[in-house]
Amino acid sequence: MKIKFLFPMLFLFVLSFSQKKWTLRECLNYAMENNLEISAEKINLENEKKNLEISKKDRLPSISGSMNNSANFGQNVILGTLQRNDNLSNNANLSANIQIYGNGKTRKTIEKANYDVEASDYNLQNIRNNITLQIIQNYLRVLLNKEVYKVNESSYHNAEKLYEKAKLTTKAGFTPFSVESEALAEVSRKKKAMQNSENEVKRTLFDLSVLLQLEDEENFDVDDILVSETRPRIIESATPYLDSAFQIQPVLKSALAQIESAKKQTEIVKTNLYPTITGNIGLGTYYFNYFNDNYTKSNSFFRQYYENFGQQISIGAVFPIFNKGITKLQIEQAKISESLAVNHFNRQKLLLKQSVKKAIFDANAGYQNFIAAQEVDKNSKLSLDLAEKSYAAGKISIYDLNMAKNNEISAESELIQAKYNYIFSMKLLDFYAGKNGDTE
């Protein structure tokens, strides 16, 4: 009885899950956690952090221990007499090495690793920002196509009503059969337009699901949120947006960190021109035992370990004299890497400047299109209202009425398009200015 009860519950659960509609925030959160490009950069960041830890460990001494055992068997001439020389030997050593002087190579390596971690972290932020923008843009496209679909759906239903009315008036003999035929043709055209807009909704939903890297694209849908419209305005100057973008955009911060990392690499290579001083401390002892007691009597293992215990301390220096000019070439190569890093920063700054200016141009053009589309939509609605009244009074034909309706639908669709284009342009500028990019 319990099993029979569970099946309907399971069905309802699966149905409710498949009908779930994603909000923009849910899409963004899911992408931040599951996007493979973001995950790859997270792994790269962890790798750079491990490199930093390794660099810091180089400041500590290296301590190692060893123990060796050996046994020899055979004859040998000892004191002029051929005797067996079977013996067992054992030795144990403990040593510690530390770099005393290396012209700051360890410190500079740590500093370089810090810049590499910083650059990787900014790269991660930049990837997240790009993914966020793509999701917002695709989400808005879905909402745009849904609104267009609603317009076409409403137009299709109105065409059906007009067709039903035309059938009645034709049957009653008030209008010719051509009116009914045109009304039916209009129903077909509106149905085709509605189906096309429905396919556009499905296509943009699919594009968004692919961007989110979802496994189940068929049951994916988004919530029809109310988009907060930005008050239309003309942007007079690009300077505030450029200043903000240059200061806060992670793509430039990453490029700056890469420049500093390249400079540190040059300093690290230059340390190879200077001597390196290392210190060593060692402890050791050994045990040796002849199996042939006729030759000598060996002391016990622990007694030998005690008596043979020794210590050592040493300081060594390595002076670079000649290495075929490789160090000089490595320094020149490191300086080339510096130039490449500076060039990369300049290119990224130029691309960012161009992107901001293009976004401002698109926003201003979008503003003008939006205002114009509002005017066209207003006049098209007025024209349609007059056309409907004239048609009802028999002053215009059904062809004129359909033309007025098509003009109104086209105007409304263009207004929706202009609205969403302008909204995304402003959201993009908000992003460059460091503001929240959500539409909710």
- pLDDT tens for each residue of the chain, 440 residues long: 444 444 444 444 444 444 578 999 999 999 999 999 999 999 999 999 999 999 999 999 999 999 999 988 877 766 667 777 788 889 999 999 999 999 999 999 999 999 999 999 999 999 999 999 999 999 999 999 999 999 999 889 988 988 888 888 888 887 888 888 988 998 999 999 999 999 999 999 999 999 999 988 788 999 876 665 556 677 888 888 999 999 999 999 999 999 999 999 999 999 999 999 999 999 999 998 877 665 456 678 888 888 899 999 999 999 999 989 999 999 999 999 999 999 999 999 999 999 999 999 999 998 999 999 999 999 999 998 999 899 888 888 888 888 988 899 889 999 998 999 898 888 888 888 877 555 54
Which H or E run contains 144? helix 105-171
What pLDDT is stored for residue 88 in this prediction? 86
Assess contact for 419 and 143: CB atoms under 8 A.
no
Which H or E run contains 271? none
What pLDDT is stored for residue 114 in this prediction? 96
Tell me how crowded residue 140 is: count the other CB atoms within 10 A of its CB. 20
What pLDDT is stored for residue 234 in this prediction? 77
- The residue type at 378: K
What pLDDT is stored for residue 162 in this prediction? 86
| 398-432 and 326-392 helices, crossing angle to 10° | 150
Characterize the bridge pairing of strands 276-290 and 87-101.
antiparallel
Q: What is the C-alpha R_g of the chain?
A: 40
Torsion of CA 119, 124, 126, 132, to 10 degrees: -170
Sign of CA dihedral 377, 382, 385, 388: negative
What pLDDT is stored for residue 336 in this prediction? 97
What pLDDT is stored for residue 392 in this prediction? 84
3-state secondary structure of 172: coil
Alpha carbon 8 to its chain's center: 41
What pLDDT is stored for residue 167 in this prediction? 87
DSSP code for 35: -
3-state secondary structure of 49: helix
Q: What is the pTM of this model?
A: 0.82
Q: According to DSSP H, which parts of 213-284 are helical? A: 239-248, 250-270
What pLDDT is stored for residue 14 in this prediction? 42
Alpha carbon 122 to its chain's center: 10
What pLDDT is stored for residue 17 in this prediction? 43
- How far apart, in whole angstroms, are the C-alpha atoms of residue 162 and residue 173? 16
Sign of CA dihedral 77, 79, 81, 83: negative
What pLDDT is stored for residue 16 in this prediction? 43
